[in-house]
């Protein structure tokens, strides 16, 4: 099962606490940020696989992945600690936005943003003039940002509800199978 496989690969709460509880020498005190991070990452809710934390992490990872910002994994991890959702799932889901998929995501955000804002699409091909390209990019950024935020919100909400529905479906199926097995065993 994916849950058991993932549990085997993730560090336990105790291992994480040991790793983050580094033995600092007396002359160098840990910074406040490091102490805050150590306390936050030691929270077992950030590493526990349950419906609430995984669904929230899916929504967060999909949301951050759509935004055209640098250091998406770091942002996802920090927001996951603040929102108390599963950190590894939120970081992994950001990976759908990568150098290979980024142009398609940027175009989709621009397309959706231009439709929602009612702006004109580019009617003639751009010239190879650098100043013309920079002017077109400067004019497109508000549309791209609006489309990115819209797509991020839409996919985050869809991911949240789809994860909840899938989790519930799998839980009900397991419960039914368990009930059928116990009924068969009771007949013997």
Is residue 7 included in any domain, yes or no?
Answer: no
20, 38 Cβ separation under 8 angstroms: yes
Assigned domain for 143 exists: yes
DSSP state of 93: H
pLDDT, greater one: 156 or 9 = 156
Matching residue, tokens 């999909």: 62
Query: Residue 119 in 3-state DSSP?
Result: coil
CA 117 to CA 163: how far, in whole Å? Answer: 30
CA distance 120 to 122: 6
In a domain, 10, yes or no: no
Q: Report the mean per-residue pLDDT for the chain.
A: 80
Residue pair 116/146 in contact by the 8 Å Cβ criterion: yes
Count structural domains, the chain: 1
| pLDDT confidence tier of residue 6, bands split at 50, 70 and 90 | low
pLDDT(163) > 60:
yes
Is position 55 within any domain? yes
Which tens digit of pLDDT belongs to each residue from 123-149? 555 566 667 767 777 778 888 899 999
Alpha helices in the chain (DSSP H): 2-9, 13-20, 32-41, 51-66, 72-83, 87-93, 102-117, 130-187
In a domain, 27, yes or no: no
Domain annotation covers residue 149: yes
For 37-68, the pLDDT digits (tens) are: 677 777 767 777 888 889 999 999 999 999 98
- Distance in angstroms (rounded) separating the CA atoms of residues 136 and 110: 12
Q: Is the pLDDT of residue 19 over 80?
A: no
Rounded distance between C-alpha atoms, residue 34 and residue 20, angstroms: 9
| SS3 (DSSP) at 22 | coil
Average pLDDT score over residue span 13-22: 59
Provide the domain limits for residue 108: 43-187
Residue 118 forms part of a structural domain: yes
Q: Rounded to two decimals, what is the model's pTM?
A: 0.73
Residue-by-residue DSSP string for 26-61 = TTSPPPHHHHHHHHHHT-GGGT---HHHHHHHHHHH
Q: Residue 151 falls within a domain, yes or no? A: yes
């Amino acid at each position: 099962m994916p849950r058991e496989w993932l549990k085997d690969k993730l560090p336990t709460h105790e291992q994480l606490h040991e790793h983050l509880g580094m033995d600092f020498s007396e002359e160098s005190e840990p910074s406040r940020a490091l102490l805050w991070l150590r306390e936050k990452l030691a929270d077992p809710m950030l590493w526990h696989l349950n419906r609430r934390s995984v669904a929230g992490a899916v929504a967060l990872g999909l949301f951050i992945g759509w935004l055209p910002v640098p250091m998406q994994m770091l942002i996802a991890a920090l927001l996951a600690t603040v929102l108390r959702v599963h950190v590894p799932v939120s970081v992994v889901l950001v990976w759908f936005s990568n150098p290979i998929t980024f142009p398609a995501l940027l175009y989709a955000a621009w397309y959706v943003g231009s439709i929602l804002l009612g702006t004109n699409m580019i009617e003639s091909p751009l010239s190879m003039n650098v100043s013309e390209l920079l002017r077109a990019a400067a004019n497109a950024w508000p549309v791209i940002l609006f489309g990115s935020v819209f797509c991020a919100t839409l996919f985050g909400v869809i991911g949240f509800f789809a994860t909840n529905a899938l989790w519930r479906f799998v839980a009900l199926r397991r419960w039914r199978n368990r009930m059928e097995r116990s009924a068969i065993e009771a007949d013997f």
